[in-house]
Amino acid sequence: MSDYVRRFTLRQIIQHFCVMVLFILLALTGFPQKFSEGDWARWIIQTLGGIDQTRWLHRYSGILFAALVAVHIQSEIFRLVLRRASPAMVPTGKDFQDAVKMLRYYLGLSDEQARFGRYDYRQKFEYWGLVLGSVIMIATGFILYFPIAVTRFLPGELIPVAKIAHSNEGLLAFLVVITWHIFNAHLSPDSFPFDASIFTGKISREKMEKEHPLEYERMQELTRPAESSQDD
């Protein structure tokens, strides 16, 4: 029996890779505009070929990012409707109970840890934060991209509001990624120094059993009839 099991499909690996690259590009070309007084910001802008190139690079990356989010949302809806996917990312009552259970465990009030399925409550929280945050970034980004077209239909006050929302939500998203996401996915004691599963698609059997026991049991159930029919 292999020491590894499949956790992510090629489609998920590619989507994660694209969102990672585009997010880095957007941060690299967005923050030097926000903090343009800093020496580091000037250095990045000069290295990218000047402010015009930096702004265009940001906008092109933004268009690709918007396309990626649209493809992801559309394909997930189709897959759910066609029953090719289970709604594994949808929060349920169990997630709230798990969060309380884990809080009690971390505070030393209980010895019992929650048992997770395919995604735990932290992963679901982060996923939905990314989806909703992306919708805000895309909507405000396009308002800043086409301010004259937007103000033909909507009040002009929307432009400075969109700029503040885009700028601050971008900073919030960046801080969440470098603290919460990088810590949970790579730096926590269970994953340190690096969890490669989202790049290889595979996870060690031991880690899967420990971190997602309910999903592991479900996978065992699915493979059991095949194994037993081979034994016959």
* Binding-site ranges for ligand HEM (CB under 6 A): 23, 26-27, 30-31, 33-34, 55, 58-59, 62-63, 65-66, 137-138, 141-142, 144-145, 166-167, 170, 173-174
Rounded distance between C-alpha atoms, residue 146 and residue 192, angstroms? 44
Nearer to ligand HEM, 128 or 192 (CB): 128
Nearer to ligand HEM, 32 or 117 (CB): 32
Minimal distance in Å, beta carbon 60 to ligand HEM? 8
Minimal distance in Å, beta carbon 178 to ligand HEM? 12
Nearer to ligand HEM, 117 or 141 (CB): 141
Rounded distance between C-alpha atoms, residue 202 and residue 200, angstroms? 5
Rounded distance between C-alpha atoms, residue 158 and residue 150, angstroms? 9
Nearer to ligand HEM, 15 or 197 (CB): 15
Rounded distance between C-alpha atoms, residue 89 and residue 119, angstroms? 7
Rounded distance between C-alpha atoms, residue 147 and residue 187, angstroms? 41
Q: What is the DSSP string of 57-105?
A: HHHHHHHHHHHHHHHHHHHHHHHHHTTSS--TTS--HHHHHHHHHHHHH
Minimal distance in Å, beta carbon 33 to ligand HEM? 4
The residue number whose beta carbon is nearest to ligand HEM equals 141
Minimal distance in Å, beta carbon 121 to ligand HEM? 23
User: In angstroms, how far apart are the furthest CA atoms of the chain?
Assistant: 73
Minimal distance in Å, beta carbon 129 to ligand HEM? 12
Residues with Cβ within 8 Å of 29's Cβ and at least 6 positions away in sequence, in order, are: 48, 54, 55, 57, 58, 61
Nearer to ligand HEM, 67 or 196 (CB): 67
Backbone phi, psi, residue 204, to 5°: -65, 145
Minimal distance in Å, beta carbon 130 to ligand HEM? 9
Rounded distance between C-alpha atoms, residue 129 and residue 79, angstroms? 21
Rounded distance between C-alpha atoms, residue 228 and residue 224, angstroms? 6
The structure tokens listed for 79 are: 């897959």
Nearer to ligand HEM, 80 or 132 (CB): 132
Minimal distance in Å, beta carbon 73 to ligand HEM? 14
Nearer to ligand HEM, 34 or 101 (CB): 34
